[in-house]
Structure 1
Amino acid sequence: FSSFKPRLQSSKRPLFTESAYRPQTLDPQMPPPKNTGTPDTSISDGHLSWPPSAPWRKSDSSAGVSLREGEAQKSKHIGTASTTTAIATPSTSSEKAAAKPKKSKLRPRKAPITLTPKAVEQLHALFDQPESKLIRVGVKNRGCSGLAYHLEYVEKPGTFDETVEQDGVKVLIDSKALFSIIGSEMDWLEDKLSARFIFRNPNITEQCGCGESFSI
């Protein structure tokens, strides 16, 4: 059993009576903050960003902003002035249009037929009668050559009749005969046998011997 006793003694730990804790005293003067003595333009300022912007860039941006604001105000004034001008222009143009009547671009048409002085004189004599009426000139299918002039009295012009006015005399042209007698000259002829109105028509291609009928 002598070998067992040293084994028990070796497993025992020594007892320490002295504590390992060492109390420390605080310094009555607190150390200064870490940022003491640092300039305001350093990164310690929380409102500034890093890297700091160049001063010329900052001035350029402010100048650009002011320039854009000036252009916007200028364009606004110009837009207001143009709107006022645009509103005032229609009234001015309408006043000018009302002051100056529009000129017709249509040229006056040439009369379908012309009247000789003798024809005008005879027509005046016919219209001076108590019960005078209008005279209509037309064409009918008859005679040797197919067409013949036809004159008749009417009380009022037809819907499509052409009116010829010359020297205070009014003569109606039948719309159906307009193509056949356009450009003609109306004359009054008196001889020993008869007195009548005759027509000199440049469109005639063939005419009978007596001159009563014609063809075109």
Structure 2
Amino acid sequence: MSIAGPSTLRAFPRIASRLSHLPPRPVLAPPSAAQFSTSRPVLAESTRRAHALAQPIAEPSGFEGVPAPAFVEADGVGKGKGKAEAAPKRSIKAKKSAINMTPAALSRLRALLSSNSDPKLLRIGVKSRGCAGMAYHLEYVTPPGARFDEVVEQDGIRVLIDSKALFSIIGSTMDWRDNRLSAGFVFDNPNIVDTCGCGESFNIR
């Protein structure tokens, strides 16, 4: 609604008297640009954050050009390559030998095997004999021996273990003993639970 001008007030003195009692109308200043930009910094800040998240992450300063560390071999010598290599495959542990031979046994076996004109191998087995039930049996065989024989090699000496006797003597130690009473190979067998009085036969678990 428009307010009456001076000419209108003179024409209507009653209206002029009423309007004279009204408080003066405040003059509104034109809106400034700052009043309409209160939300712009928040929007601009959100835009900057979204733009920063979309950018790739830069490397920290001071690390530009530094090559990636190389894997170190088991012997402690680095390969010196900047490119990381694949992790080595897990090594398979060597299986435990069926028997171990003492230096005296190895020396005697070396002398026996080298004295034969034909290449031979010593085969260790077990036979049913004696009052305790089982006894060791040694024999020469032509290589490679039976199909399922277990090959044991120690310090260049190879012997064969009869597959049927493997579980009876596994973990044993083979020794050579030479004294005034006797000379021969003896076995320290952890599987034995009983022996005869003469010591030639045994029984296992």
Match of 1:171 in 2: 159
Structure (1 or 2) with the greater helix fraction: 1
Q: CA deviation at 1:102?
A: 5.1
C-alpha distance after superposition, 1:139-159 (max 9, x if no partner): 233332122212342512666
**For residues 105 and 168 of structure 1, do their structure 2 counterparts lie closer, same or farther at Cα, with a shift above 3 Å needed?**
closer
1:70 equivalent in alignment to 2:56: no
The 5 Å alignment of 1:137-156 reads: 137-152=124-139, 153-156=141-144
> Who is 2:84 aligned against?
96
Q: Taking structure 1 as reference, are residues 74 and 111 closer, same or farther at Cα in structure 2, changes over 3 Å only?
A: same
- The 3-state SS of whatever aligns with 1:126 is helix
Gapped runs of 5+ residues in structure 1?
1-38, 42-51, 82-89
2:108 is aligned with 1:130: no
Distance 1:190 1:59 in 2: 109
Aligned length: 157
Structure with max Cα Rg: 1
Q: Distance in 1 between matches of 2:121 and 2:45?
A: 83
Secondary structure of the residue aligned to 1:155 is: coil
TM-score, normalised to structure 2, is 0.56
Aligned counterparts of 2:97 and 2:190: Cα–Cα separation in 1: 15
Q: Shift of the alpha carbon at 1:124?
A: 0.8
Secondary structure of residue in 2 paired with 1:96: coil
Counterparts in 2 of 1:132 and 1:192: CA distance versus 1, 3 Å: farther
**What is the identity percentage for the equivalent residue pairs of Structure 1 and Structure 2?**
48
- Aligned-partner Cα distance in 2 for 1:77–1:173: 70
Trace 1:33-112 onto structure 2 (pairs within 5 A).
Answer: 55-56=34-35, 58-78=36-56, 95-97=83-85, 101=88, 104=91, 106=93, 110-112=96-98
One-letter amino acid of the counterpart of residue 125, structure 1: A
**Structure 1 residue 80, shift from structure 2 partner:** 8.5
Pairwise CA RMSD of aligned residues? Answer: 4.1
Trace 1:111-122 onto structure 2 (pairs within 5 A).
111-122=97-108
